[in-house]
Structures are given as C-alpha cells and as structure tokens.
Amino acid sequence: MAIRVMDTPELLSLNKFNVDEKEPHIRLDKSKCRSCQDRPCLVVCPAGLYRLDQEGEINFDHAGCLECGTCRVMCNNKGIQSWNYPRATFGVHYRLG
C-alpha cells in the first residue's frame, strides 16, 4: 500500500473549528505589537494567523488557531495581552489525532 504524503495546508484543512465569535481566546495589545522590532509571531505560528496589513500593522484572527501556544511563548514584547484555551466546545477539533 502506497503512503501519500500530505502537505501542511492539506493537513490543516482536515481540522474542524468551532470559532468563538464572542470571546476570542487570544487578545493582542496592538500598541505593543506596533513597537515590536522582531515580530516573531509572523513566522512561528504554524497556522499563519499573524500577517502584516497594508499599513505594516500586525493583523490577527483567532479563527483557525491550533492552540499550540507558540505565539504566547515567542512574543517577547508582551503584545499578546491574554492567551487562554477557548471556552468549552469551542476551538480546534483535530481529525488526525
């Protein structure tokens, strides 16, 4: 039996998300993000949820978060104001373990 190797976007697309629109589980302090020189969040998030907008500001949406906690650990400028797991029944549901 041949094993098919799946690429990252394909693997991520298998996950199911129940997004909590009322209470984002990650909140940013945009003023601290603005003053951050390194901006590690742009490269460490495996889901690529941190992006730069046209004005060069950090743009983030918690939908699609894999709850790995990497951004929380790597944020050295305290731009992540709060990081919690989503409320019960919300968040990612992994389909391949």
* Rounded least distance, CB 83 to ligand SF4, Å: 7
Residues that bind ligand SF4 in the complex, under the rule CB under 6 A: 26, 44-47, 49, 65-71
In sequence order, the β-bridge partners of residue 51 are 59
* Rounded least distance, CB 41 to ligand SF4, Å: 7
- 67 within 8 A of 92, measured Cβ to Cβ: yes
Q: How far is CA 93 from CA 8, 66, 67, 69, in A?
A: 16, 9, 10, 16
* Rounded least distance, CB 3 to ligand SF4, Å: 26
